[in-house]
Chains A and B, each alone.
Chain A
Amino acid sequence: MIIEKVILENFRQYYGKHVIEFSKHSIKNITIIHGVNGAGKTSLFLGINWCLYGEKIEHDSDEEHGIVIPGEIPSKYLLTVLKDGENDYVAVEMQFSHQGDRFNVRREVRCMKMDNKLNVEYKTEKFSLMKFKYPSGAEPIPNPINTINVILPQTAGKYFLFDGERIDEFARPGHEYEIRDAIWQVIGLEALSRAKKHIDSAGVRFTSIMRGYDNGDELQDLLDDEKDKLEEISLKSNQLVSSKKELAFAVNEKTTIDQNLSQYMRYSVYIERRKNLESDLIKINNEEISLMNEIRLGVSRGVLLLSSSIVNDITSMLDDKRKKGEIPSNIKETFLKELIERGSCICGRNIKKNSNEEKILLELIKESLPGSLEDEIMQISIDLKSLMPKTETLKYEIKEKLKKNVEIKEKKINIQKELDEIKEYLLNVEEQDVKMLEEKRDKIERNIIDLSLYISRSEETIKDLNEDLKSIRISIENTKSNNIKLELAKKKKVLAEKASDTLFLLHQQFAEEKRTEIQIICEELFQKMIWKESQFQKVKITSEYRLEVVDRHGTPARYDLSAGERELLSLSFIAAMAKASGGEAPFVIDTPFGRISEEPRVNIAKYLPDMTSQLILFVTDVELTAESENEFKKRMDKEYTLVFDDTTGITSIEVGKHV
């Protein structure tokens, strides 16, 4: 980011519109802004931070009690110009370039004067980012906050837009995490760190998904079940086939016995009779089945029978209402229309066009319900009434069928009785052959019954087994599908783990390389800028991210550094980070030279501009001595002075140095 221009509108002591342009030159990259204490240097500096990040202006803080007193944003001069209830806006706008593109960012908010106070209406705050389109025009950036944080992350920004009074923080003991975080954020390792963290979380979720699909040995158990079921079905089917063969054989045998028995002329009558009875029995059984089906069908329409009393009630109610004229029949409307068309009443009275008689008839027609509704109500009544005879018919039919069913059952009983009598007779005849044949026949018949029952049961069993098999196969498919999903989830988990491990190595390598690189640059710069270069042998950033200085005796000397030396060390570190990051980032420093003596100031002027693409310094009237100022001016392209008007409390920005 190279800041090209800042525009302040009613921001703190900058009442009205104030524009300041910064150096964009690659060599003469310094802009100096002079101002005595209270002139507005810090306000300008805060304005840049507020514009980019919306950072609340801190007026004061009581760290012990954790209190931050918010500072003012709007210019107090607005209290003079605004009336109670009036409002105006406060804005800071910046134009900057980044990687070949030019942008404009603006933050504004409304404030209202009320009871001699200025209230900032934060809900009116607007933040916008525009990108210039060559050769003319601009397009709004849809996600301005994110884009600004990509260009110059807020977390990293604080290392390049910083308050000189806090500049020595890095060099103080106990700030190792800050140094580590600074390196990671500026170098972009923060993104790697978050990436690893989120990939690890993704891996945990994949593991959880795996658990949901893990069926253990369920598939094998199901396959075993399937095999067992198939074997069972096969066995039962084979048994069924055998039984059917046996049944067919038994039926044949019975027929043969009947044929043999019919040879005995003495008993042929009984044999013939039995044959006919058995034939009748088959017919009657079929008749019984058919009859039962008809009865069931009739009963299923029994809702008519059940609702007959309700139907009676409804039709009575509709008739009653019609009689009382509450549901006028369509006949009324048709009848009235006919009278009008005829031109005379049924009593003989004339009904002329536009006469009173016609008007009365037309009124009566209006009072009747819409024809279609009358028709529908009439139809309902007719349909319901037509159901009643059908209901009676159905009742009668079912009764008759039930009666017939009873007759059939009686017939069956009689036939069976006669068959038993014939059997008893033949079992007790004198002729042994006949007796033996009959005994054999009886046995076969009982066998036929047993076989028939067994066959029927087996068929049902096989049917159930096939249903079970179907269920097992569905479960197998589902389990296989889950297994596929489980395998996929496993692969995803493995990929996430590998990516995480690789990221860890990448992060470590980059962090280590950059730590070393920053250390080298920091040491080089510190030794250039410090006035006692022979006192300090090395600058180290340890693997635990401690910023350390080693003195000429080879011992750690950080605790021995003065406040000014700590500032130089911190400045060297920040400059080294900027250089190592390789990206564009402006150095905006507010009162950087408070505790630094002359020689280091001159050295800073010599070497710091090379560490950054843009250096913006806010200095008091006494911070720059002649020598350091001369050194800065070699690389300076723009210079301003903030002039504070004590009468109005307004600061103006004037080109050049006027202190």
Chain B
Amino acid sequence: MERYDERLRKFGVESTIREVILEVIHLEEENITFKAPPRIIQKVMDIVSYHVEDKEESIDSDN
């Protein structure tokens, strides 16, 4: 995972996108035998949603 993190930082990828990518890769690595893609896709959606909603909340609280 560190190699991906390093490479993404080198690319200059925005932190939110980077975090989403790393979390999804981690999910895939931990669920190699996961035979039910719809559940994986739902978890991926949850990861993306969390980062979007979390960002919105912090913008709201800043405002």
Contacting chain B: which of A201-209, A286-294, A425-433, A544-552? A201-209
Question: Are A199 and B29 in touch, CB under 8 angstroms?
Answer: no
User: How many whole Å from B1's CB to the nearest CB in chain A?
Assistant: 10
Kindly identify, within residues 138 to 182 of chain A, every residue whose CB is under 8 Å from any CB belonging to chain B.
Answer: 145-146, 149-150, 153
Question: Are A202 and B11 in touch, CB under 8 angstroms?
Answer: no
Instruction: Pick from A150, A205, A488, A505: contact of B41, CB below 8 A.
Output: A205
Residue ID in chain A nearest B53 by CB atoms: A488
User: How many whole Å from A595's CB to the nearest CB in chain B?
Assistant: 34
B-chain residues with CB within 8 Å of residue A503 when the two chains form the complex: 21
Q: Mark B4-41, 1 if CB is under 8 A from A, else 0.
A: 10011001011011001100110111111110010011
Residue ID in chain B nearest A499 by CB atoms: B20
Question: Are B49 and A492 in touch, CB under 8 angstroms?
Answer: yes
B-chain residues with CB within 8 Å of residue A198 when the two chains form the complex: 24, 28, 37, 40-41, 44
For the complex, is A509 an interface residue (Cβ under 8 Å from B)? yes
Question: Are A505 and B33 in touch, CB under 8 angstroms?
Answer: no
Chain A contact surface mostly: helix
B-chain residues with CB within 8 Å of residue A219 when the two chains form the complex: none
Question: Are A499 and B7 in touch, CB under 8 angstroms?
Answer: no
User: How many whole Å from A267's CB to the nearest CB in chain B?
Assistant: 79
Q: How far is the CA of A191 from the CA of B25 in the complex (A)?
A: 6
A506 and B4 contact, Cβ closer than 8 Å, known pairs A145-B33, A149-B33, A495-B16: yes
For the complex, is A263 an interface residue (Cβ under 8 Å from B)? no
Q: How large is the interface on A (under 10, 10 to 19, 20 to 34, 35 or more residues)?
A: 20 to 34
Q: How far is the CA of A188 from the CA of B32 in the complex (A)?
A: 11
Q: How far is the CA of A483 from the CA of B41 in the complex (A)?
A: 24
Q: How far is the CA of A510 from the CA of B11 in the complex (A)?
A: 13
Question: Are A153 and B32 in touch, CB under 8 angstroms?
Answer: yes
For the complex, is A194 an interface residue (Cβ under 8 Å from B)? yes
A199 and B49 contact, Cβ closer than 8 Å, known pairs A150-B29, A191-B29, A502-B13: no
Question: Are A495 and B48 in touch, CB under 8 angstroms?
Answer: yes
Residue ID in chain B nearest A491 by CB atoms: B52
Residue ID in chain B nearest A192 by CB atoms: B25
Q: Mark A198-226, 1 if CB is under 8 A from B, else 0.
A: 11011001100000000000000000000
B-chain residues with CB within 8 Å of residue A145 when the two chains form the complex: 33
Residue ID in chain A nearest B49 by CB atoms: A492
Q: Mark B49-63, 1 if CB is under 8 A from A, else 0.
A: 101110010000000
Question: Are A502 and B11 in touch, CB under 8 angstroms?
Answer: yes
Which one of B8, B25, B44, B53 has the greatest number of beta carbons of chain A within 10 Å? B44
B-chain residues with CB within 8 Å of residue A284 when the two chains form the complex: none
Question: Are B32 and A146 in touch, CB under 8 angstroms?
Answer: yes
Which one of B27, B48, B51 has the greatest number of beta carbons of chain A within 10 Å? B48
Residue ID in chain B nearest A498 by CB atoms: B17
Question: Are B49 and A188 in touch, CB under 8 angstroms?
Answer: no
Question: Are B28 and A191 in touch, CB under 8 angstroms?
Answer: yes
Q: How far is the CA of A499 from the CA of B32 in the complex (A)?
A: 20
Question: Are A202 and B41 in touch, CB under 8 angstroms?
Answer: yes
For the complex, is A195 an interface residue (Cβ under 8 Å from B)? yes
Kindly identify, within residues 103 to 118 of chain A, every residue whose CB is under 8 Å from any CB belonging to chain B.
Answer: none
Residue ID in chain B nearest A500 by CB atoms: B21
A199 and B30 contact, Cβ closer than 8 Å, known pairs A495-B20, A499-B17, A506-B21: no
For the complex, is A576 an interface residue (Cβ under 8 Å from B)? no
Q: How far is the CA of A188 from the CA of B51 in the complex (A)?
A: 25
For the complex, is A233 an interface residue (Cβ under 8 Å from B)? no
Q: How far is the CA of A502 from the CA of B40 in the complex (A)?
A: 20
A146 and B31 contact, Cβ closer than 8 Å, known pairs A199-B44, A491-B52: yes
Instruction: Pick from B21, B28, B51: contact of A194, CB below 8 A.
Output: B28
User: How many whole Å from B51's CB to the nearest CB in chain A?
Assistant: 7
Q: How far is the CA of A191 from the CA of B27 in the complex (A)?
A: 9
Question: Are B32 and A149 in touch, CB under 8 angstroms?
Answer: yes
User: How many whole Å from B53's CB to the nearest CB in chain A?
Assistant: 7
A495 and B21 contact, Cβ closer than 8 Å, known pairs A150-B32, A198-B40, A502-B8: no
A-chain residues with CB within 8 Å of residue B21 when the two chains form the complex: 195, 499, 502-503, 506
Q: How far is the CA of A502 from the CA of B18 in the complex (A)?
A: 9
Kindly identify, within residues 542 to 593 of chain A, every residue whose CB is under 8 Å from any CB belonging to chain B.
Answer: none
A-chain residues with CB within 8 Å of residue B48 when the two chains form the complex: 199, 202, 206, 492, 495-496, 499
Q: How far is the CA of A192 from the CA of B8 in the complex (A)?
A: 13
User: How many whole Å from B46's CB to the nearest CB in chain A?
Assistant: 9
Question: Are A146 and B52 in touch, CB under 8 angstroms?
Answer: no
Question: Are A202 and B16 in touch, CB under 8 angstroms?
Answer: no
B-chain residues with CB within 8 Å of residue A505 when the two chains form the complex: 11
Q: How far is the CA of A510 from the CA of B25 in the complex (A)?
A: 14
Which one of A201, A495, A510 has the greatest number of beta carbons of chain B within 10 Å? A495
Q: How far is the CA of A269 from the CA of B14 in the complex (A)?
A: 98
Q: How far is the CA of A146 from the CA of B34 in the complex (A)?
A: 8
A-chain residues with CB within 8 Å of residue B32 when the two chains form the complex: 146, 149-150, 153, 191
A-chain residues with CB within 8 Å of residue B44 when the two chains form the complex: 195, 198-199, 201-202, 496
Interface pairs A-B: 3 shortest CB-CB: A149-B32, A191-B28, A202-B44
B contact set with A: CB distance below 8 Å = 4, 7-8, 11, 13-14, 16-17, 20-21, 24-25, 27-34, 37, 40-41, 44-45, 48-49, 51-53, 56
Apart from the given pairs A492-B48, A510-B7, 12 other A-B contacts in the complex at a CB distance below 8 Å:
A191-B25, A199-B20, A201-B37, A201-B41, A201-B44, A202-B41, A205-B41, A491-B52, A495-B20, A496-B48, A498-B17, A499-B17
The contact sample of 6 A-B pairs, CB cut-off 8 A, is: A150-B30, A191-B25, A198-B44, A202-B44, A502-B13, A506-B11
